[in-house]
Amino acid sequence: MRLYFWQVILAITLLTSAGCARKNFYASTPVVDGEVFEHLKSNSATPDSVTIQAGAHYKRGFLHRLFWGTHYRPVWSVPVTVPVFEMDTTWGGLTVEKKGGGFQTTSFTMVSADNKTYALRSLDKDPKEVLPGFWRKTFVVNILRDQISASNPYGALIIPPLAKAAGIPHATPQLVYVRPNDADFGEHQDVASNKVYMLEEKYTDERMVDEVTGNPVDIVGSGKMLNQVFGDQNHYPNQLAFAKARLFDLLLGDWDRHEGQWEWARYERGGNHYYRPIPKDRDNAFYRFQDGIIPWLFSRNWAIRKFESFDEDLSDVYALTINSRFIDERALAQVTRAQFDSLAVALQQSITDEVIAQAVSQFPAPVQELEGEATKRKLMSRRDQLRQAADKFYDILAKEVLVAGTDGEDVFEVKRLNDEETAVTVRRKSDDYVSFQRTFKRSETKLITLHGLAGDDEFELSGKVKKGINIKLVGGRGEDEIKDDSKVSGWGKKTKVYDTVRGTELEAGPDTKDRRTSDVRVHAFDREGF
């Protein structure tokens, strides 16, 4: 059945999009009117603002829209007035520190005279570089480029009032237009030329700590945060703050919240270090993908499920968490169902109808006329469903839980309390400081993975029950001591031990499954995911 489906999709794709990559997909002057463009190119004196079309090239006829979706095509092509970017006067004067961006976005890191950092990121994107070389010359690149129209180019503008009300750190983007051949961009003037950008604060290092509440001492990326959390014994992510930020993502329908979409403000408190998340890159908030025959089919649960559309119903929470699974399971393991519910209630109370209306008013007037009422209606409906969404999110996270130690010496204690509950505690061996503590329920959790990482760790499992949760124990590097005195009389619910044979002391009962090997790399722990 599935093979037949993909054959049909391939046939439709070939019929509607066959051929080579269009060399003129992006018109030579896709943003401003031709006469205005020539004036800007030939005159040193430029107007304060211009009227642009962020993506007139996304206009399509009825048949194309029927198969591939209307998406936000009207928004991309509606005329919007934006200020012309003046590098020497904006925020007291900016300079280009470096050109950045991934495979799709043109972006620059800008630095102000007072050493603050900002990001200049193009609204439009070219996803060509994500494809292997051969496919860049085929119709496939046409399809990928066309589907950029599923994102709302102005969506990031309405997020700051919502985030402020929710108490979530945020940038405050503004629209700017870079005129043709702006000499202030130096060697980058050609690539920067004649584009619409979002200009916003860039929270990536200690230069911006004064712009974040609570007096942090540094700002780091997810990779460095995770290395510190799992490398040292006194570094911890603020899991409740991250849980609230993730519920906020669900509200916005932002499905692309992988570990690269976060920075972390580091705070020092009582000898420990805590990390508070700072979201960034809101390109896929308010996504609209499922309004064409082919995208609708592609986004079914058994296909590419993550492309969930922003709609009144916050129904498919799992789809909105697919891309974030790696960071979620490493930074949300201690958050309980009750805490998720409390955070959802707090968000419902803080993001009022008035806040939503004020946020949507940040759309440019022509965009507000097209999308304002629908966006308000959807945000209010999704806000009202946040408690149910939080409950589903918790269920997703609770099914399989990762409990990781550090490169120091940790003590893991697992107590099978009864047929329903299993308590897990992790302590520092040096001073018995409790770094993790939670009681899991068999009705919610099917598997708990304990990962000792490096160091000489101790694992102690106890309790005799009829039914229980599967425990997977991965010792990691170091000479570990493992004592499993637990017993589950029901079929299949055992403790499985993965470690190196050499240097491991294993005292096990008849229910312990010894899966030790001679190669520690088999059970290496992925900290960063990059």
Encode pLDDT of 426-445 as tens digits: 999 999 999 999 999 999 99
DSSP one-letter string for 116-147 = -EEEEEESS--GGGGS-GGGGGBHHHHHHHHG
Residue 119 pLDDT more than 60? yes
Q: Could you read off the pLDDT of 366-377 as tens digits, one per residue?
A: 999 999 999 999
- pLDDT reading at 285 higher than 90: yes
Contact present, 56 and 30 (Cβ < 8 Å)? yes
CA 79, CA 284: separation in Å to the nearest integer?
22
Ordered domains of the chain (ranges, CATH): 214-399 (1.10.1070), 405-523 (no CATH)
> Are the C-beta atoms of 294 and 68 separated by less than 8 Å?
yes
Percent of the chain with pLDDT over 70: 88
pLDDT band at 127 (very low <50, low <70, confident <90, very high): confident
- The model's pTM is 0.91
Mean pLDDT of the chain: 88
Does 530 have pLDDT greater than 50? Answer: no
37 neighbors 180 (Cβ within 8 angstroms): yes
Tell me, what's the pLDDT at 24?
Answer: 66
With beta carbons less than 8 A apart as the criterion, state whether 516 and 498 touch.
yes
Average pLDDT of the residues in 118-126: 92
Q: How far is CA 420 from CA 192, 444, 477, 489, in A?
A: 60, 9, 32, 14
Q: What is the pLDDT of residues 216-255, one digit of tens each?
A: 999 999 999 999 999 999 999 999 999 999 999 999 999 9
Q: Quickly list DSSP for 152-210.
A: -TTGGGGHHHHHHHHT------EEEEEPTT-GGGGGGHHHHSSEEEEEEE---SGGGGG
Res 422 pLDDT > 70: yes
| Partner residues linked to 473 by β-bridges | 450, 497
Side-chain half-sphere of 157: how many Cα atoms within 13 Å? 22
pLDDT (tens digit per residue) in 468-500: 999 999 998 888 999 999 988 876 667 899 988
Q: Is the pLDDT of residue 11 over 50?
A: no
How far apart, in whole angstroms, are the C-alpha atoms of residue 226 and residue 526?
Answer: 10
Q: Look at 62 and 153; give whichever has higher pLDDT.
A: 153
Spell out the SS3 assignment of 248-293. HHHHHCCCCCCHHHEEEEEEEECCEEEEEEEECCCCCCCCCCCCCH
Q: Which pLDDT value is given to residue 526?
A: 58
Looking at the predicted structure, is the pLDDT value of residue 8 above 70? no
Does the pLDDT of residue 396 top 60, yes or no?
yes
pLDDT of residue 25: 65
